[in-house]
Chain A
Amino acid sequence: MRLHVACIIIAGFCLTADASEPVSYDRDVRPILKAACTHCHGEEDELAGGVDLRLRRFMDRPGDSGEPVVVAGQPDESLLMSMIVSGEMPEDGKPLDPAQIDLIRAWIAAGAVADAPEPESLPPGAYVSESERRHWAFQPIVDPPVPPAGPADRIRTPIDAFLWARLHEKGLTFAPDADRRTLIRRVTIDLTGLPPTPEEVEQFVADTAADAYEKVVERLLASPAYGERWARHWLDAVGYADSNGHAEADSPRPHAWRYRDYVIESFTEDKPWNEFLVEQLAGDELAGVVHGETADAVQDPDRLENIVATGFLRMAPDGTGDPLPDPLLGRNEVIAEQLKVVSSALLGLTVGCAQCHDHRLDPISQIDYYRLRAVFEPAFDVAQWRSPAQRLCSLATSEEEATAAEIEKQAVAIEADARAMEKKFLDEIFEKEIVKLPEEDRDAFRTARATPKAKHTPEQAALVKKYPSALALQSLDLYDKEAHAKVVARRSEAKKLRESKPAERFVMPLTEVRGRVPETKVFHRGDHGQPRAAVTPGELSVVAGPAIEPFVPASVPSGSTGRRLAYARWLTGGGHPLVARVLVNRFWMHHFGRGIVATPGDFGLAGERPSHPELLDWLASRFMAGGWSLKTLHRLIVASTAYRQSATNPAAVAADPDNALLARWGRRRLDAESLRDSVLFAAGRLNPKAGGPPVPTGRDPAGRVAEGRAELNANGDVIKFIPPGDDAFRRSIYTTFRRSLPATLLDTFDAPTMLPNCEQRNCSTVAPQSLFMLNDAFVLDSATALASRLQKEQPGNLRGQIELAWLILTARRPDEAELAEGLVHVAEQAESLRQFHVAHPPAKGAAAADPQTEAVASYCQVLLSCTRFLYVD
């Protein structure tokens, strides 16, 4: 079997060659050589054995041994064959397996032909072959023709036409449309992270207008909840956190939230993504600022927004303000991690491997990696490093600064006055005390008191020791409590005054330092201690092909290098093959649960191939042509039949288990934030307060991490947990995200840990989630709040309460059986609870329990836990 269908696995991807098909150099042979050989034979400074295997043409040259490396048509005469057959090569790796050896033998025997013309010579380093250049993701984005339509009632949009073409091939069709209740719940949760209200559901069900659905979509896109929901997706990609990470201290990042608010606002106002990206990559250069010269710019709202946007480039873990074992390494890791974020979020490539050596799988050379680093180097500047605190820029106005200075002056004066008061009191006490001393010691003691302790003569020291209580230089409270209280009162006036200073406000931007242009050098094997050749900023060579004009940095007047601005404009200029594809793929994934490319952070050779490449390109083209408007893209996607179809399509379950072809809606669980927010919303507890500093979190005595502040004793045990009032019920995007202390609810339901960012969330189904729904105080309290809401809206009408609960949580009305089940449940629970309270009467002074409300709450809890609520059908 192996000889017929050789399935060769080279660290992650599979190439198959059929015996009937001639062996291809590009497809079959070169990948083996690249993975196993060219690292030493061509890509390093020194050519091992004088053999260079990067090009077919080079194999004609004999190595140091004088033997020809490859003799076309003569495998047995070829040095390459004897080396790999004997197992002598690869020297440091797994021997090639027999199928690989057979392929190479067959290729040489067939004449050892290269598939495409090769260059005459190569610069040192990795070589991007034509076949690698031909990898789909590096091709220019084209606007493909829409396939001929299928059945008119199912092809609502061109998206459906693209999908239909593939479905049709497999003998599948779309599932029927979802009913209106399912659809409005789906689109509402998808676009806002919250369920629709009963009124919204009934209105949509009753709306006979042709554009009923479009009206719903417009309402949702215009709501503030939309920005809070979709910003969260982008915050995953950029690795947003409210702590610095990396170091064990995981110190807080108290000003990150301004970037979070900027992202939310940008989504809400549908800022075109080309502008959005340029601001995030180079907002400082747009605003014309450099480090330490931001005072004027931050007073201009537009420029301030640009500066805040660069928080994107400050998202990577950065422990350089905390104690680190190797600070220099720590600095370089900040840059490396930030490059990972940029490349996975915008380019859909894992460039990290190329930090140490040419990428083994993708055509990304080590030099490429450092050219990319050079774009960002001036802003990071390892040699003149700025810690997170040193990078902050103040938002204070000159008036605020003047006010603060004036207040400080007054406070200092008050403190001086308090000190004088204290001295006066102590002097008075001294005069009373000294008369208690023997006459002959008094003068000497007075002199000793007036002499600073450090200058005491031995005699003076002895004297002071002899009459300790007469000294009266401190501890006024021990002599005269009343006088001491007066001094304390005066001092506290200063403290109080200081509190009236305008609050200090900061932004966490990325800026360069005027005139500083640190050189970027290739680090030998990624070791910052071994810098080699200097490189200039540039695009990855596989993208910067002959047909593509890459960017040229042009310095900007502010004194910044302009590298990032030029790079950002190139990325968003419409000619970049990756950026728009990567973005629309991610948006698609958030809508459907799975990307057209299933590896949203890896469009390279090891990533998955797109399930519908033409659709991806068509979406990317539409996106760019539509002014990079995400809301326009949303409208297009949610209007499709693919989006509106039901989750039920039995034929498709067996034929397409991963639902790659979209012959049904892919049901999925609410993500962590949507779950928490939807529970709060249903219970009528969601606090809609937008923006601002994050709600603090802490460990409560039960061991959960929740919204609130924990007071710890010296051992680090929680002694008190103070909930933050209504702030506990704000949307999850405002909950502090500390890397080392994730909030329990969000963590239980798979919120990401940002190391450094999250390309795609995990979605687990484990018992701790069920235990959470059964027993956690958050769920119990929310169920009680929901029960109270039901009783308020449908007083005395249990039937009405049950119907309303279904509407709120599932957008459906219960059928008669479900209703009956609910009535029985409430009655039985009420009886049990009544008995419980008889057996456990409330403590004196506590309000009597209401078993009926508790029983309704029990029912609400079941509905909150059921799959119709937890999943989006």
Chain B
Amino acid sequence: MPVILATDLIIFFLVGAILYFVIASRKEGTLKSVRRELGKNRLAFACMVFLAFYVSVALLDSVRYRDAVIGDDGASAISEDGGVIYSPEALSLLDRMLSGMRTRTEKTYSAPFATHSYAKESMEGPDGGIVRDYPPLKYPGKHWLGTDRVGNDVLFTALKGIRTGVVIGAGTTIVIIPFAIFFGVVAGFYGGFIDDAVQYVYTTLSSIPGVLLIVAFMLLFGSSGYQGGLVSEGHIIWRAFVLNDRLFWLCVILGITSWTDLCRLIRGETLKLRELEYVQASRAFGIGRLSIIYRHIVPNVMHLVLITFVLQFSGLVLAEAILSYIGIGVGPEMGSWGNMINTARLELSREPVVWWNLLAAFAAMFALVLPANIFGDAVRDALDPRLRYR
């Protein structure tokens, strides 16, 4: 039985947008020249491979379903009212593909590729006495990035964190962009009362301490939400759909608190563009305002959108870590780099140091944020006709 989370929709939307671009760019036009430009840029292509890997992992991790509970007789368990009973555990395709990695748990910490545990334990020696030594692992050499405090494979946790990272980055952007572009362009272009109203809204929003607003919002909406792990029937609002997903609310509130910066930039740019002569020339043709906005204003503020998105992306992933720390981020059962960094604080202060958890989170984040930055720049350049045909 499938389970669809609100955040899964974000991933599906992202994948859909990528597919749309690929299909639409086959036709002659602006998209095709953008694709041609991107194809010429080798560095961008390499980054695209990284990003494609991340998006596919996120997609695999977003398709999930619940298995039927198998009774002692080998057949599916049937409830009293005759329905099939499903396990509360909704495993994603990724979980199922990596079930080996997921189920090979140790007792506690072990270093990458280790054969023995990282801490000494009292064990029964060969001569029957009690000795203190490093106990052998159940799966020696199988944990490429070691295991964490409760013995879970760190590589698996890092891979599970990909979906969270991509959702936070993409989901928040999906919230930010329409708000910022719409309000920014409208305020800058129409001016007057509309401008005052928009400025009033974003000045008010940005004068409220962000963390406070996020905490309030998350406590209001997110506290009872799905946070990874088991799905309770109460979470499912309609057939298989779960709206009350903590990560989803996190995207919404991060979006609400961070669209103002971009909006301000776009408003300023629009104020400048509106007075430019090509806009005046269009007005001299009697072209409608919406059409001017669509043809002349929005394409010329897109570079701001891309730059802001790229710069905010890493900040958003980190914001998730900070919020997890104060207990309102994603739940501990949902793998996330934020959670990994959060637990690494204590691990770094113990002796001997447990370093691989932090390293794994850092490397996984780095391999997403850096290509996203470079790719974002490449997209911005490809969108700018001034930089084409060089």
Q: Do A and B come from the same complex?
A: no
Interface residues of B (CB under 8 A from A): none
